[in-house]
């Protein structure tokens, strides 16, 4: 039993509607990317959520196929959501995946008018994987001084990345505040609860389902989340925003560095992928039109069928044979699989992809049939915070009761404490509240909306036991083996 007081930014009025889709566990962690590298091994590791029918060539039809599960809470959502994984590289050169806490949240926010559903077959990529430096000012210039025209999409996409330093005991940082990973020493000193990685997707579309670079059929409006769309990009999609939390705090005091799986220690090349996999575009449209409760809770949308966490948790994809021996959780030589670290500031260059086009394996990494300690922590941590994700009510003091009712079977107190997991409600309102922190009230008003922010203290209680988490993990492990005998753990 553990009580935590968290400072929560709470939206009081004037917010646009939104909902947040919890995808509490990943369906897998693997070198797959059906958008960028269809049909072949991807050149870096992704953490993937959503439809269980995910493979190297997944399409809308595959993701939504009869009988496919989803790791997201709403059963009508079989979309695929993925981002690079985060690693910690010890000074001796070996690396482990940073435990991910609570899976992923995919926000659907309505910043613009006349929001249209993503069509069936729609997919997109956000971010620029080759970037290794953010050359803008920190913090961002006030929105009022941003370009009035959305001409420079590269400039905008850099500002659609966020590396949020989590410390639930302090005032929450706004979303999309920092556009690079901070120094490790800064994280050690300040980010006591880990880092939240954020990426916002372009929400202006030209009507195409995809494009050669998987980006140019969509564009950011001039203020990233909202504002003016470029000419020819007149369709307004929801502002899709991913959050993933990583227990970087677990490595406080350790000598080494963090790096994203594409060899990026800076974070500037963070990116995300999305394949629309809703039951139908019509259904998503209906949800966008009717699910406008300010709470953002999926429970407040009558259209959504919500599955139990335990069910969502069982959803994993089948590991392709060619990847089934790959241990992407813990390896001896750098980050998997032979991806070179590229520090910038110049753009990263292409590197050979191990296992593809005749490129051979790097030095064999330590493989074991049992999960490594980091891998099992990984599961426990995900579990621990999964439960917390059930509590979305950040607005009121009822929060504390709710949190305890959800947090009944996760990880031990020690594990919870070790990961410094707290039920920070700021996670949920971060996007909206950030507009008040980033933007002055004046600017917001100039842009046609009035937003007010209040800071309130919310007490959260987490109750947890270790054995059940271990059991759950064991079951999940068996389940994975039953499906493909693969090396997901
Ligand atoms: C490198 O250091 C880490 C942390 O001390 C340790 O867990 C790991 O086994 C070491 N790797 C090698 C190859 O010695
Ligand atoms: C909106 O959400 C709040 C908080 O979850 C809930 O109490 C209320 O009943 C919801 N309103 C509607 C119309 O669903
Ligand atoms: C940032 O500056 C470095 C060094 O001058 C340069 O190589 C890099 O391309 C710049 N990045 C951007 C996004 O302008």
pLDDT at 380 exceeding the cut of 90: no
- Supply the residue whose CA is at minimum distance from atom 3 of ligand 1: 90
- Residue 272 has a pLDDT of 98
pLDDT at 89 exceeding the cut of 50: yes
How does the average pLDDT of the chain come out, rounded? 77
Looking at per-residue pLDDT, the higher value among 140 and 366 belongs to: 140
Q: List the chain domain ranges.
A: 18-333, 375-478
Task: Mean pLDDT check: name the lowest of 13-27, 65-79, 112-126, 245-259.
Answer: 13-27
Q: How confident is the model at residue 127 (pLDDT cuts 50, 70, 90)?
A: very high
- Residue 417 has a pLDDT of 28
Is the minimum distance from the CB of 374 to ligand 1 under 6 angstroms?
no
pLDDT at 1 exceeding the cut of 70: no
- Supply the residue whose CA is at minimum distance from atom 8 of ligand 1: 94
pTM: 0.76
**Cα(96) to centroid of ligand 1, in Å?**
10
**Cα(295) to centroid of ligand 2, in Å?**
7
For residue 456, the tally of other CB atoms under 10 A from its CB is 16
**Cα(344) to centroid of ligand 3, in Å?**
8
> What distance in Å separates the CA atoms of residue 447 and residue 288, rounded to the nearest whole number?
23
> What distance in Å separates the CA atoms of residue 336 and residue 261, rounded to the nearest whole number?
7
Looking at per-residue pLDDT, the higher value among 163 and 423 belongs to: 163
- Supply the residue whose CA is at minimum distance from atom 13 of ligand 2: 293
CB contact set of 121 (below 8 Å; sequence gap of 6+): 59, 60, 209, 210, 276
**Cα(470) to centroid of ligand 2, in Å?**
35
- Residue 16 has a pLDDT of 78
pLDDT at 75 exceeding the cut of 50: yes
- Residue 361 has a pLDDT of 58
**Cα(347) to centroid of ligand 3, in Å?**
7
Q: Which atom of ligand 2 is nearest to the CA of 392?
A: 5
Is the minimum distance from the CB of 133 to ligand 3 under 6 angstroms?
yes
Q: Which atom of ligand 3 is nearest to the CA of 344?
A: 7
Is the minimum distance from the CB of 347 to ligand 3 under 6 angstroms?
yes
The rounded percent of the chain whose pLDDT value lies above 70 is 70
Q: How confident is the model at residue 340 (pLDDT cuts 50, 70, 90)?
A: very high
- Residue 453 has a pLDDT of 29
pLDDT at 429 exceeding the cut of 90: no
- Residue 439 has a pLDDT of 24
- Residue 96 has a pLDDT of 98
Mutate to test the pocket of ligand 2, among 10, 290, 295 (most ligand atoms within 8 A of CB): 295
Q: Which ligand is nearest to the CA of 344?
A: 3
Q: Residue 175 is encoded by which pair of tokens?
A: 């979303």
**Cα(22) to centroid of ligand 2, in Å?**
18
Write phi, then psi, for 3 (nearest 5 degrees). -115, 140
pLDDT at 462 exceeding the cut of 50: no
- Residue 358 has a pLDDT of 74
Q: How confident is the model at residue 22 (pLDDT cuts 50, 70, 90)?
A: very high
Q: Residue 140 is encoded by which pair of tokens?
A: 């961002």
According to DSSP, the residues that pair with 471 across neighbouring strands are none
**Cα(158) to centroid of ligand 3, in Å?**
12
Looking at per-residue pLDDT, the higher value among 462 and 21 belongs to: 21
pLDDT at 488 exceeding the cut of 50: no
Is the minimum distance from the CB of 285 to ligand 1 under 6 angstroms?
no
- Residue 489 has a pLDDT of 21
pLDDT at 321 exceeding the cut of 70: yes
> What distance in Å separates the CA atoms of residue 85 and residue 244, rounded to the nearest whole number?
10
Looking at per-residue pLDDT, the higher value among 449 and 25 belongs to: 25
- Sign of the C-alpha dihedral computed for residues 28, 31, 35 and 40 taken in this order: negative
Contact in structure between 317 and 27 (CB atoms under 8 Å): yes
What mean pLDDT is predicted for residues 179-186?
98
Q: Which ligand is nearest to the CA of 157?
A: 3
Q: Which residue has the tokens 């999309």?
A: 176
Q: Which residue has the tokens 């060539």?
A: 57
Is the minimum distance from the CB of 92 to ligand 1 under 6 angstroms?
yes
For residue 432, the tally of other CB atoms under 10 A from its CB is 24
What mean pLDDT is predicted for residues 162-168?
98
pLDDT digits (tens, 9 = 90+) for 231-276: 999 999 999 999 999 999 999 999 999 999 999 999 999 999 999 9
Q: Which ligand is nearest to the CA of 266?
A: 3
pLDDT at 428 exceeding the cut of 90: no
Q: Which ligand is nearest to the CA of 330?
A: 1
């Amino acid at each position: 039993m553990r009580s935590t007081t968290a400072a929560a930014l709470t939206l009081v009025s004037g917010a646009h509607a939104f909902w947040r889709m919890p995808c509490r566990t990943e369906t897998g962690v693997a070198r797959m990317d059906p958008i960028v590298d269809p049909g072949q091994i991807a050149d870096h590791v992704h953490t993937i959520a959503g439809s269980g029918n995910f493979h190297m060539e997944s399409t809308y039809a595959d993701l939504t196929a009869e009988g496919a599960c989803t790791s997201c809470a709403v059963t009508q959502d079989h979309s695929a959501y993925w981002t690079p994984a985060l690693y910690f590289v010890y000074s001796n050169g070996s690396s482990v995946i940073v435990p991910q806490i609570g899976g992923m949240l995919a926000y659907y926010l309505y910043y613009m008018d006349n929001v249209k559903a993503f069509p069936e077959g729609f997919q997109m990529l956000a971010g620029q994987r080759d970037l290794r430096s953010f050359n803008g000012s920190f913090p961002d210039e006030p929105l009022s001084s941003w370009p009035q025209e959305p001409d420079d999409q590269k400039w905008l996409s850099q500002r659609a990345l966020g590396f949020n330093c989590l410390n639930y005991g302090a005032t929450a940082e706004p979303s999309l505040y920092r556009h690079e990973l901070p120094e490790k020493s800064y994280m050690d000193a300040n980010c006591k609860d880990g880092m939240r990685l954020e990426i916002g997707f372009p929400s202006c579309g030209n009507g195409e389902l995809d494009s050669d670079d998987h980006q140019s059929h969509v564009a950011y409006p001039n203020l990233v989340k909202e504002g003016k769309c470029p000419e020819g990009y007149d369709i307004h999609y929801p502002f899709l925003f991913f959050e993933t939390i990583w227990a970087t705090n677990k490595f406080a005091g350790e000598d080494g560095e963090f790096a994203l799986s594409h060899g990026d220690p800076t974070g500037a090349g963070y990116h995300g992928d999305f394949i629309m996999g809703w039951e139908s575009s019509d259904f998503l449209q209906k949800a966008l039109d009717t699910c406008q409760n300010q709470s953002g809770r999926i429970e407040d949308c009558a259209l959504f069928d919500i599955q139990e966490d335990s069910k969502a948790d069982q959803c994993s994809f089948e590991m392709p044979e060619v990847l089934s021996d790959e241990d992407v959780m813990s390896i001896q030589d750098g980050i998997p699989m032979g991806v070179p670290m590229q520090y910038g500031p110049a753009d990263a260059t292409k590197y050979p992809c191990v296992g593809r086009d005749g490129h051979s394996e790097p030095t064999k990494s330590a493989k074991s049939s049992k999960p490594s300690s980091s891998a099992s922590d990984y599961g426990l941590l995900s579990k621990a915070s999964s439960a917390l994700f059930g509590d979305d009510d950040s607005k009121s003091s009822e929060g504390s009761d709710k949190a305890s009712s959800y947090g009944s079977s996760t990880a031990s107190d020690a594990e919870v404490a070790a990961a410094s997991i707290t039920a920070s409600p700021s996670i949920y309102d971060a996007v909206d509240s950030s507009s008040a922190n980033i933007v002055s009230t004046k600017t917001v008003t100039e842009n046609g909306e009035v937003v007010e922010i209040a800071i309130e203290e919310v007490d959260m209680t987490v109750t947890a036991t270790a054995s059940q988490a271990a059991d759950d993990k064991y079951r999940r492990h068996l389940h994975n083996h039953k499906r493909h005998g693969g090396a997901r753990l």
